[in-house]
Structure 1
Amino acid sequence: METDRFSRLNQYRSMWVLVLFDLPTETRKDRKAATRFRKDLLDDGFSMFQFSIYMRFCASRENANVHTKRVKMCLPKHGKVCIMQITDKQFGMIELFHGQKEVETETPSQQLELF
């Protein structure tokens, strides 16, 4: 019983950071900046959810804030970027479709964090 309560509370404590972006790619310089931004996200532990949506699981709101600050430090000069934090519980309620077929959302792999 206590384990169920802890698990439920943990779903509200653990967070997902989603980075949604629309970056220009008309010039070589724009493409290079967009590629650099994507690489920075991957280097910080984000993974691609869709072409212009990257996500990262964080064990706590404080940890999510750390990664949000890192994203802000590598923002490209041009384009639109949105950073969103949602709880694990909210993320679990996402309905995901490929075409008209609903698919299960993948459970994130256990992530090791060193302090």
Structure 2
Amino acid sequence: MMSLYSSVGNRDKVDEILREIKENNVKLDNALLLDMAKAYLRVGSKREAREMLVRAEEVNDLASYEDLMRLYGEVGKSEDVYCIWNLYKKTRKQNNDGFLALNWISLES
């Protein structure tokens, strides 16, 4: 639903869904947090998107490092991209996906 609302630019509905999630103490997984960050980016809410990325980072899901780097790049936070890159390098061998995600900051700058 959040993707639908964000694609039509209805930020109020995105905020409402997030409020309901908080009120009901729903534990969010990394995929939903990243989806929420993407939804906020679609409606131009970089601050809220970054909040979701910080929460996603706290989950510490190694599989999401490339997505985190790309999304932090979209938010315009190169220092956060490099922070995730340093974690990424410690957890696995660097591959093309990792380097492409790292280069996202130069595309969005």
Q: What TM-score do the two structures reach when normalised by structure 1?
A: 0.26
Structure ID, larger Rg: 1
Query: Relative CO higher for 1 or 2, CA cutoff 8 Å, sep ≥ 6?
Result: 1
Task: Name the one with the larger strand percent.
Answer: 1
